[in-house]
Amino acid sequence: MERKHKSMCGIVAIYGDNVSRWASHLDTMLDKLSHRGPDDEGTYVDSNVALGQRRLSIVDVAGGKQPIFSEDEQKCVICNGEIYNHRALRDELSQHYFCTDSDTEVIVHLFEEMGEEMVSRLDGMFAFVLYDGEDIFVARDPLGIKPLYQGEKDGCLFFASEIKALEGVVDSIQEFPPGHYYSSSVSVTKKGGLVQYYQLPEIEHWEDDTGRITEELHQRLSVAVQKRWMSDVPLGCFLSGGIDSSLICAVSKQHFEHLDTFSVGVEGATDLEYARKVANFLGTDHHEYVYSRDEVMKVLPDVIYHLESFDPPLVRSAIPTYFVSQLAKDYVKVILTGEGSDEVFAGYHYIERFTNEAEVYKESVRILTGLHNLNLQRVDRATMEWSIEGRVPFLDIDFVEYAMSIDPALKMVKKEKNKMEKWLLRQAFTGYLPDEVLWRTKMEFAAGCGSERLLMEVAEDEISDSEFDKARRKFEQIGISSKEELYYFRIFRSFFDTEGEVEAIGRWKGGFSSGSSS
C-alpha cells in the first residue's frame, strides 16, 4: 500500500484484479490532466485500485489534499468539483472527525452513514471515485457539469476526467452518464452496476402566476449565485454583455465591493460594447481583450485538443471562452458564467417554431439533459485549460426544477404578445441592469464575439469544393456536414485516433448543435 502527495482538478482511477499491471500508467494519465490541477497531486495504490488526482486548490487550500481518507483509513475518495452544501452536511455528520476543511471530505463520511444513497444528498457539481477497501463507488452530478469518462482493458475499469487521459490506454471510451452512479458491490451489480439516481421530476402542476413566478426566480437565482461564491481564492465573472452573464454579474456585485469581470472579442465586436456598458453600470473592475484572426488560427489546435470535439458550433464558441479564460487566470481562480439559462427558459430562437406547450417542454428537457456534451463541455475544458474553475448558477438544481415547472406557454414568445425570449427572467430583475441590456435581443456567443464569421471564412479559404466532396465520402459514417467541420476534424484527428470509434462519434462531435448562452 502506497500513498504520496506531490506539488504539481482532474481525477484518474483504475480498478480490478490486474491493477498492478496498469498502476505504472497512473502518473502518465495524470500528466495529461495537469492543466486541470497545477497546485497539487495525490495518488493512492492498493492491491485492486489505483487512484490519482491533480488538484486546483479552491477550498481549504492548505489542507485539502486528495485522496481524502476516513478516520479508520479504510475508505478514501478523489473528487473533481465542489459540494456547495458541505457545511450543512458537516453539521449532520458531527459524530465523525474531520481532518480537513475541504468540501470533498463530506463525501467519504456521508458514504459511511448512507452508502450509495448518499449521492442524492450532495448539492453541487462533481465527479468522484470512492474506494472502501474492497469496492469502488463512482458518481457524477445530476446534469454533468463536471466531466467523467470510462473504459475497460484487461479486466480493469478505468475512469478519468477527460478523454485524453484514457486515449491509447483502453479499448474504447464512453462517457459516464450524468445523474448516475456505479458500484462494484454485489448488491448493486445485481441491478447492472450503473444506477440512475437523478432525473428531472415530473411536473404535476404548471406555475402560471407571473407575479409569483418573477418573485421566485429572483429569490432562487440570488441563492444559486450566493452558493457559488464558496471559495478561499479570488472569484470573478465572465461578462459577454448578454442578459445571462450580465445578471450573474449584477447579483454578485450587490454583495462585493470589488468584482472582476472579463470580456473578449474581435475588434468592434458587439459583446465588447455591451459588456462595457454593464461593467460601467455595475461598477465592476472590468478587463477585456481584443483578439485577431491570426491569434485565432494560432490557438485553434490547442482549443480543439482541450475541447475534445470538432463540432462547429462548439468550436466556434470555445474560441472566445479560451481567450476570456486566459484573460481571467491572471486575476481569479473561480469564475461564474451564464450557461443554462436558454435551456430552462426556451431561449433559443429556433424554439419559436414549436406550436404547443408540450413540444416546448419536451425540447427544453432534451437540450438541458444534453448540455453536458455542449456548453458545459466547452466551459469546463476552456476554463480548466487555464486552471480556473467555472461555475454555473443557472444550473443550480433547485433553480432548474422551478424554472422547468413554469408553464411553457409563458416561455413561448409567439403566444406572449409584445414579449421577448426569457421575458420572465428579465422582468424578475428589473432595475438590475440598464434597460438596453436587460431587454437586449439574444445573440449567440460566437456571433457576438465575432469569431463565427471569421472561422467560416478561414475554412472556405483553406478547403476547396473538390476536397470537401472527397472527404465527405471518405468519412461518410461520421457525417461531415461542412468545410468548417472538415477543417476542425483534420485538426482533431492529429490528436485523437478515431479509427474504430464510429459508435462514439456523437461524443466527438459534441452531439446536438446549438448556440451558446451569452
Residues labelled catalytic = 9
- Which DSSP category does 45 fall into? E
For strand 136-140 and strand 149-153, is the pairing parallel, antiparallel, or unpaired? unpaired
Looking at the DSSP bridge assignments, the partners of residue 289 are: 264
Name 133's Cβ contacts closer than 8 Å, sequence gap at least 6.
46, 74, 75
Listed in sequence order, the residues at least 6 apart from 439 whose beta carbon sits closer than 8 Å to its beta carbon are 420, 426
Say how far apart CA 420 and CA 408 lie, in whole Å.
14
Extract the C-alpha cell encoding 45.
495504490
| Partners of residue 130 on adjacent β-strands | 77, 137
Q: Give the relative orientation of helices 243-253 and 210-227 as an angle to the nearest 10 degrees.
A: 70
Are the C-beta atoms of residues 39 and 49 closer than 8 Å to each other?
no
In degrees, rounded to 5, the angle at the alpha carbon of residue 220 between the alpha carbons of residues 214 and 223 is 140
Cα 86 from Cα 177, distance rounded (Å): 23
How is residue 26 written as a grid cell?
Answer: 497512473
C-alpha cell at 196: 440512475
